[in-house]
Amino acid sequence: MLSLFMVVSLLFPGLLLAASTDSILDGAKKEGRLVLYTAMQPEDSTKLVELYRSRYPFVDATFFRAGSAPLLNRILTETRSNRVLFDVVSGKVADLLLLQMKGLLGRIISNELALYPDKFKDKQNRWVDIYNNYYTIAYNTGRLKSGEIPSRWEDLLDAKWNDGKIALEPRSYDWFFGMVTAWGREKTNDFMRKLNLNKPAFRDGNVLIANLLAAGEFPIAITYAHLVERLRARGAPVDWISVKPMIAAPISIAVAARPSHPNAATLFADMVLS
């Protein structure tokens, strides 16, 4: 015999959804706060938080922004001190996988999840890809003539680019594994070994690399295309190559396993996924 709950859920699913949404809204009003940890660009993070505030003005939403490695280290350091200060986190999927392995991510609750293909989300809904960053060959237009601009990854192996003329983030693991997927491990390892012989200039953070490229500290960088394009649009002497393969670095969103403001976190994740 069907229970009353089952009859209502079968005949009036929208009624239960509305009740659940009202419960989350009431919970968020009581919590009154949201803390986002993110590796997004400051202007992007600001716009996202401002949108959230406009929809849910009763929640004081704030964010802490840092590069991928510092952000991950901050979360792990806080965890060792038995402190969970973030409600929602966005960053490289590789970093979120590590947080998931350590039991630091909760389940995302959102009707929007059904619209995302399985390959773009965790099977347990611990994280969801929301956009990609793309690795490219970028260059300073003031330091390179048109005939000098590399057009292939292999062009970076030329000895003329040795001694710090190519900048690279030392933790570009997603670029490496993307190249392995595209080229195979043997070819990729050979490429990386030869690239290392050119002694690239390692700098922490792709934002820093893009800015230093624009300042002319080095003529070439392996970095994110959108960072270079943003600087180029503002008049900086930089540009980038549509190189093949173009390696994508998925950026994902997740909620904390023990958020201080779970309902506010649910509303934020649902807004982003929509």
For helices 68-80 and 93-101, the axis angle rounded to 10 degrees is 10
Cis, peptide link before residue 13, omega less than 30° from 0: no
Strands (E), 116-177: 128-140, 166-168
Q: How many CA atoms lie within 13 A of 166 on its CB side?
A: 26
**Sequence-separated (6 or more) residues with CB below 8 Å from residue 191:** 153, 154, 157, 179, 183
Does the global pTM surpass 0.85?
Answer: no
Report pLDDT for 20: 75
Question: Where do the structural domains in the chain lie, given as residue ranges?
Answer: 4-126+256-273, 133-249
92 to 5, 76, 190: CA distances (angstroms): 40, 15, 26
* CATH architecture assignment, domain 133-249: 3-Layer(aba) Sandwich (3.40)
130 to 76, 135, 136, 250: CA distances (angstroms): 23, 17, 20, 8
Reduced to 3 states, what is the DSSP secondary structure of residue 202? strand
Decide if pLDDT at 14 tops 80: no
**Can you tell me which residue has the tokens 């009740």?**
19
Q: Would you say how long the chain is, in residues?
A: 274
Burial group, residue 237, by CB count within 10 angstroms (0-12, 13-18, 19+): middle
Report pLDDT for 3: 47
Burial group, residue 273, by CB count within 10 angstroms (0-12, 13-18, 19+): middle
Tokens of 260: 């201080």
DSSP β-bridge partners for residue 35: 62
Equal CATH topology for 4-126+256-273 and 133-249: yes
Decide if pLDDT at 146 tops 60: yes
> How sure is the predictor about 67, in pLDDT bands with cuts at 50, 70 and 90?
confident
DSSP designation for 20: H
**Sequence-separated (6 or more) residues with CB below 8 Å from residue 237:** 140, 141, 142, 214, 216
For helices 225-233 and 206-215, the axis angle rounded to 10 degrees is 40
- The superfamily (CATH) of domain 4-126+256-273 is Periplasmic binding protein-like II (3.40.190.10)
Question: Are the C-beta atoms of 213 and 223 separated by less than 8 Å?
Answer: yes
Residue range 211-268, pLDDT digits in tens: 999 999 999 999 999 999 999 999 999 999 999 999 999 999 999 999 999 999 999 9
Average pLDDT over every residue of 82-90: 95
Report pLDDT for 10: 40
Q: Please, what is the average pLDDT of the chain? A: 91
